[in-house]
Structure 1
Amino acid sequence: MLRRTFLTVLAATVALPVFADEVKTLDYTPGLIKERLAAGETLLVDYTTDWCTTCAAQKRQIGALIGENPAYGENITFIRVDFDEYRRHAVSTDRKIPRRSTLIVLKGEDELGRIVANPSKTAIQELMDTALAAATPKEPTTPTASDT
């Protein structure tokens, strides 16, 4: 019984990084965010560093959520901003990014949501749901005979 439990936990632990690697993340270069927003895309921008454990936990949660709901990966553009490199640049200062491990959702000229230093799966899912709702416009409904 213990062996079966151990193998199940091991398989789940090994699978999480695989999901995280499926996230198609673009590394930030100057102008990338403006370019993608102008194209009408919904962005989840991840201000991160390679050494940040909270950032790594957030990445694992994002990967797991995409594994559970591929619509996130299909409809949201993920952009990674290296906070060590861009901490004092407009991409961070204009949006008042306080620290690494900040996730924001952008659409058009608007910031739709933000999480700071929170690796909670629930909080990240709520943020990604906000992004998905913005990325997938609702189809207009046609009035039925009972509506008239």
Structure 2
Amino acid sequence: MKRRDFILTAAAASGALALSPVAATAAPMVFTPGVVAKELAAGKTVFLDFKASWCSTCAAQERVIAALKAANPAYEQNISFVDVDWDDYGRHEFTKSLNIPRRSTLVVLKGDQELGRIVAQTGESEIKALMDTALNAATM
């Protein structure tokens, strides 16, 4: 193969990867004190992901969430996704106020209500059900 053909083929392939649905998902907001209150005050539905970089259960949940977002863009269009770093905020007042028992906890909030949560579950059906609860709340 000629060098120019190789470069053009490689460039086309990398461009196709950039347009894939998984690559198109936006990064979630990173939790800092006040960010959730701001989103809730604006009337948003918030999907909290309490996670740690070293947690294999968290990584499995993250893969499922990314795949579900890629399959249904309405999730990202209507829900505020917020990652809460367990190492930084596991003992924070915000985490305590929600009675979060551990990392790998996913919680949906709207207004002053908790709409649902799952703890340490990685099944697509459970995570999808929680995301659907958030989407329904966000679009009503």
Shared fold per TM-score greater than 0.5: yes
**2:57–2:104 Cα contact (<8 Å) kept:** yes
Matched, 1:55 2:58: yes
Paired positions, count: 123
Paired residue type of 1:88: R
Counterpart check, 1:115 vs 2:118: yes
TM-score norm. by structure 1 comes to 0.78
Match of 1:41 in 2: 44
Any residues of structure 2 matched to 1:86-105 within 5 Å, and which? 86-105=89-108
User: Measured at CA, do residues 122 and 20 of structure 1 come closer, stay the same or move farther in structure 2, by a change above 3 Å?
Assistant: farther
- Please report how far the alpha carbon of residue 103 of structure 1 lies from its aligned counterpart in structure 2 after TM superposition: 0.3
- Paired letter, 1:73: E
Q: How far off its partner does 1:90 sit?
A: 1.2
Q: What stretches of structure 1 move > 3 A for 4+ residues in a row? A: none
> Whole-Å Cα distance in 2 between the matches of residues 99 and 20 of structure 1?
29
The one-letter code of the counterpart of 1:44 is: F
Alignment of 1:12-31 (within 5 A): 19=22, 22-31=25-34
Unaligned runs of 5+ in 2: 1-16
Q: Is the 8 A contact 2:40 2:111 kept in 1?
A: yes
- Could you tell me how far 1:91 is from its partner in structure 2? 1.4
Q: Which residue of structure 1 lines up, in the alignment, with residue 109 of structure 2?
A: 106
* Equivalent pair of 1:58/1:119 in contact (CA under 8 Å): yes
Q: Are the counterparts in 2 of residues 72 and 128 from structure 1 also a CA contact under 8 Å?
A: yes
Q: What is the identity, as a one-letter code, of the residue corresponding to 1:113?
A: G
The change in CA–CA distance for 1:28 and 1:106 in structure 2 (over 3 A counts) is same
Identical residues among aligned pairs (%): 51
Mapped contact 1:20–1:62 kept (Cα < 8 A): no
Contact 1:26 1:80 in 2 (8 A): yes
Alpha-carbon offset, residue 21 of structure 1: 7.0
Question: 2:87, 2:72 → 1: CA distance?
Answer: 31
Structure 1 residues not aligned, in runs of 5+: 1-13, 138-148
Q: Report if aligned partners of 1:20, 1:63 keep a CA contact under 8 Å in 2.
A: no
| Deviation readout 1:104-139 (Å, 9 max, x if unpaired) | 0000000000010001100000000000000001xx
Partner of 2:75: 72
